[in-house]
Amino acid sequence: MARLSELKFAMGTSIFIASFIFGLFVIGVIFLLQYFVFGFDLWIGLLLTLGGVGLFILFQYLIGPAIVAATSRLHYLKLGENPWLESNVKELADKSGIPMPKLAVVPDNTPNAFVFGTSSKSATLAVHEGLLRSLNKDETRAVIAHELGHIKHRDFIVMTVLSALPLIAYMIAQVALRAGVYSSRSRGRNKEKNAGVALLAIGAVSFAVYMITFLSVMRLSRLREHYADAYSAYLTGSPRSLESGLAKITYGLSISPKAPEGARAFYIGDPAQAKQEIHKIMESKTDYDLDHDGVLDERELELAMERESKSTWVTMNSWFATHPPTFKRILLLREIEEEMESGRYTSDRVYAHV
């Protein structure tokens, strides 16, 4: 499939950039601690730190799925418990050429879905009860195909590992800054004051590394959503089903009183982002209510989302977002839909519009 290599290249590049920056950061931290604070051997400190980082990433990779399963309170489906869901997932998984994932239902009224696991063979596809109730069967199939796209691309595994780096940098920044402030206030020896300055420097650099690695991870997260959307359109042959499904998901998440929680990057829709998108539109509701009836109909809402997606605020905010703005995702699907209707769309153009 054309341009799937570009997603793999983007994943590889993100891993390299984040790891390279993080590696330089670790070496610098060890040097400063060795020189100003502890006085231990530089190479021993480097080995201990890299070993600790490696163990943390391995722990997140191995234990992360169990934590997701426990915190989301999901219920694994037994054979025959939901025949429609089972048969459709099996059909689409076979068409994708991937193993049938484990199926689970989350007792949550918000419309959402996600996949997680340590490999494609052990992946779990979890669907919220709210999604099964809010979306029709075609829209649900489109969401399933989107999630199978993540399994096909194996991007959920990369995200699990890569997301550990900004988390480590953030924790180091918090500890170093607090310890540095405490040491700098000390009236003791000059060495203690120097240690305080070194810790403050480590904290500042750690925060900068956190921001760089975080933005790199978020960029990859947004890109993988576009690829999964395009894959869903290809697999189902119905981009329109995912278009309407995404609109319902965004609206449903925006009105949910429940606070966003969990690993939001793995959901098909980010609850926090959905609330921001709809809230921003409602602030300018009168500008988009063309017929002045007090209600935004489908055409007016689409116009509002299109205009808002081009705003400077949305552009800057999207740098920190786990998902692309909903209307940008819909625009991509419409381009694919137009090409399908023209008869020019072929399997080698699955990702041509990403």
Instruction: Report, as residue numbers or ranges, the catalytic residues.
Output: 147
59-66's contacts with Cβ under 8 Å and 24+ in sequence apart are 60/160, 60/161, 60/163, 60/164, 61/118, 61/157, 61/160, 61/161, 61/164, 62/118, 64/116, 64/160, 65/116, 65/117, 65/118, 65/122, 65/124
Phi-psi domain of 125 (left: phi exceeds 0; alpha: psi -120 through 50; beta: other): beta
In angstroms, the CA 263 to CA 283 distance is 28
DSSP at 33 = I
Q: How far apart, in whole angstroms, are the C-alpha atoms of residue 303 and residue 321? A: 22
Name the residue with tokens 């998902």. 323
Quote the CA–CA distance of 317 and 83 in Å, as a whole number: 41
